């Protein structure tokens, strides 16, 4: 065995993962800080109506959804770094536009422009270029954690910053963070030798059709769309409910979100461990969606005092965090071999569409039917998701690997059939132009030595 299988991440890999996780976190912080404050502070902008405030909350999702996959393909053509730099500049420009706005339309225009800096796909692809196969899951997890953390920080810092410096100050902070992201990318993230052409790092056109026809992937795409729609719509209503029905001044909302996120974060951990260890992911998923549904009904029926609202918010975030963490993991289990990058691309697009839809619908419902109708609308969406999720099959508990193949193995016509005959290997695919094998296997049934033995054709000594 040589270095390519060493168990620890190299310094370069750690720098790449840490640097890109920071870039992601700063950008997400800028996206999310607006959530807890726009519904309350946005009322002072000229021309503001609840429907337009909802549009401002969700607007970034529209451009993000449309540009997510094209930017990823562009990053394959011209390189990842130019796309990341330009995307962060566009994002900063959108924040500056919103900071200078005195009308709700100006803020909406700024949010739309912010969303146009759609760099997620390019960042993920760059991360794939800079990390080896066996460390990629760890690196992706670092980015996932940075997004979760930035969401938590945003919920607490957003209200505090806005109280001190107003909405304009909040947007200027966001612009500054995007510029800081450019600096981190330039100073911290190592340079690549060039893009690795492999299918897991981005959207592969050949895999788009099968991904869009895959029933369980579509169920998960609908799930993330519903989750983010419910989140955005709830944030059209929750901050206002805290002020109007809970009597909590908007400057003090930060402690509600801080409590909810801390309890929610630790509350979800046992469920995630149970889902993975006991292989009960479907049960945990359905349970969390049911809790989300009950939360929205609870807000609607009992959300007329501060204690009820705080309690509901805590339970809401426990279910939200659990779903936010388990959906991507389900995508990578369900996606066909070599199709994970494409599946994640479609999934991200669905997530941003959900954010846009939730903001717009939440604002519209609030304008026409008050707070209660927003919570009822979210309940209907959660119920629909519950029905769709219940029809999903239990996911395969598999790990994806990409292994380089030598000329002998590439020419071995029986390789895929031999692998698929092995219990515990659910999918395998040879991509000749990458000289690579994509394989999905159950690590409880197949270990690395057995896999190497299966790849080495009969009679050849398994060596590197």
Give the pLDDT mean for 224-239.
91
Q: What is the chain's mean pLDDT, rounded?
A: 83
Distance CA 222, CA 191 (A): 36
- DSSP string computed for 240-288: HHHHHTT---GGGHHHHHHHHHHHHHHHHHHHHHHHHHTT-HHHHHHHH
Nearest to 211 by CA among 348, 388, 349, 335: 335
Model pLDDT, residue 457: 61
Q: At 402, which helix (H) or strand (E)?
A: strand 399-404
Is residue 458 scored above 80 in pLDDT?
A: no
Is the pLDDT at 431 greater than 50, yes or no? yes
Higher pLDDT, 233 or 32: 233
Selection from 11-20, 42-51, 62-71, 286-295 with the highest mean pLDDT: 286-295
CB atoms within 10 A of CB 391: 9
Extents of the domains making up the chain: 11-195+207-390, 399-455
CA–CA dist 90, 175 (Å, integer): 10
Helix (H) or strand (E) holding 77: helix 50-78
pLDDT confidence tier of residue 201, bands split at 50, 70 and 90: low
- Give the chain's length: 464
pTM: 0.82
Q: What are the tens digits of pLDDT across the range 384-430?
A: 999 998 888 777 666 777 777 777 777 777 777 777 777 777 777 77
| Domains 11-195+207-390 and 399-455 equal at CATH topology level | no
What is the rounded distance in angstroms from the CA atom of residue 356 to the CA atom of residue 55? 7
Q: Is the pLDDT of residue 132 over 80?
A: no
456: phi then psi, degrees, rounded to nearest 5: -65, 120
d(CA 460, CA 38): 65
Could you tell me the two tokens for 241?
């409910």
Query: What confidence score (pLDDT) does residue 460 get?
Result: 46
- The residue-averaged pLDDT of 23-44 equals 86
CATH number for region 11-195+207-390: 1.20.1250.20
Q: Which residue has the tokens 């049960």?
A: 283
Q: Which residues contact 405 (CB under 8 A, 6 or more apart)?
A: 430, 435, 436, 437, 455
Read off the pLDDT of residues 271-322 as tens digits, 9 standing for 90 and up.
877 777 777 778 888 888 999 999 999 999 988 889 999 999 999 988 988 8
DSSP string, 127-184: HHHHS-HHHHHHHHHHHHHHHHHHHHHHHHHHHHHHHHHHHHHHHHHHHHHHHHHHHH
Question: Over 60: is that where the pLDDT of 464 sits?
Answer: no
Structure tokens at 294: 């009950």
Cβ-Cβ contacts under 8 Å for 343 (sequence gap 6 or more): 207, 211, 214, 217, 331, 332, 334, 335
Kindly state the average pLDDT of the residues 356-372. Answer: 92
Mapped onto helix, strand or coil, the DSSP state of residue 206 is helix
191 compared with 361, residue with greater pLDDT: 361
Please report the pLDDT score of residue 196 as a whole number. Answer: 58
Query: Cα–Cα distance between 140 and 213 in angstroms, integer?
Result: 26
Q: How many CB atoms lie within 10 A of CB 394?
A: 10
Radius of gyration of the chain (CA): 23
Fold of 399-455: Alpha-Beta Plaits (3.30.70)
Task: Give the pair of three-digit tokens for residue 215.
Answer: 């029933």
Q: Rounded to whole angstroms, how far apart are CA atoms 176 and 184?
A: 12
- Residue 359, by phi and psi: left (phi above 0), alpha (psi -120 to 50) or beta? alpha
Tell me the mean pLDDT in the region 180-208: 74
User: Residues 6 or more apart from 269 whose CB is under 8 A from it?
Assistant: none
pLDDT of residue 459: 45
Tens of pLDDT, residue by residue over 137-177, are 677 777 777 777 888 888 889 988 999 999 999 999 999 99
- Residue pair 219/384 in contact (Cβ under 8 Å)? The answer is no
H or E, element range at 426: strand 425-431
The pLDDT-based confidence of 2 (bands split at 50, 70, 90) is: very low
The pLDDT of residue 21: 87
- Answer whether residue 84 shows pLDDT above 50: yes
């Amino acid at each position: 065995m040589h270095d390519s299988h060493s168990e620890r991440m190299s310094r370069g890999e750690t720098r790449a993962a840490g640097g890109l996780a920071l870039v992601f976190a700063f950008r997400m912080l800028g996206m999310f800080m607006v959530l807890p404050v726009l519904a309350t502070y946005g009322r002072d902008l000229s021309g503001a109506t609840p429907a337009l405030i909802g549009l401002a909350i969700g607007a970034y999702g529209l451009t993000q959804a449309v540009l997510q996959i094209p930017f990823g393909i562009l990053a394959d053509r011209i390189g990842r770094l130019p796309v990341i730099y330009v995307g962060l500049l566009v994002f900063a420009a959108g924040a500056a536009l919103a900071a200078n706005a005195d009308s709700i339309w100006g803020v909406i225009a700024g949010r739309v422009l912010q969303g146009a800096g759609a760099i997620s796909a390019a960042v993920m692809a760059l991360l794939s270029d800079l990390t080896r196969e066996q460390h990629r899951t760890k690196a992706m997890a670092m980015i996932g954690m940075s997004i979760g953390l930035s969401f938590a920080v945003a919920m607490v810092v957003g209200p505090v910053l806005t109280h001190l410096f107003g909405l304009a100050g909040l947007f200027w902070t966001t612009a500054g963070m995007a510029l800081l992201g450019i600096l981190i990318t330039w100073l911290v993230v190592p340079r690549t030798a060039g893009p690795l052409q492999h299918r897991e790092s981005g959207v592969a056109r050949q895999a788009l059709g099968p991904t869009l026809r895959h029933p369980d992937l579509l169920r998960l795409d609908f799930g993330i769309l519903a989750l983010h729609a419910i989140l955005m719509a709830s944030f059209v209503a929750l901050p206002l409910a805290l002020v109007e029905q809970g009597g909590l001044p908007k400057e003090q909302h930060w402690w509600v979100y801080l409590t909810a996120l801390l309890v929610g974060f630790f509350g979800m951990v046992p469920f995630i461990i149970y889902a993975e260890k006991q292989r009960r992911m479907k049960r945990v998923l359905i349970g969390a969606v049911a809790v989300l549904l009950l939360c929205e009904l609870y807000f609607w029926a009992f959300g007329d005092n501060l204690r009820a609202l705080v309690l509901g918010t805590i339970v809401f975030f426990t279910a939200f965090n659990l779903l936010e963490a388990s959906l991507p993991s389900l995508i990578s289990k369900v996606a066909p071999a070599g199709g994970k990058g494409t599946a994640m691309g479609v999934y991200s697009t669905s997530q941003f569409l959900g954010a846009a839809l939730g903001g717009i619908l939440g604002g519209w419902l609030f304008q026409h039917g008050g707070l209660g109708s927003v919570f009822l609308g979210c309940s209907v969406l959660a119920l629909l998701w519950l029905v769709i999720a219940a029809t999903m099959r239990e996911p395969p508990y598999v790990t994806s690997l990409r292994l380089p193949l030598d000329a002998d193995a590439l020419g071995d016509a029986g390789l895929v059939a031999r692998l698929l005959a092995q219990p515990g290997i659910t999918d395998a695919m040879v991509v000749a132009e990458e000289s690579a094998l994509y394989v999905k296997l159950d690590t409880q049934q197949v270990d690395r030595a057995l896999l190497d033995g299966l790849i080495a054709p009969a009679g050849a000594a398994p060596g590197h």
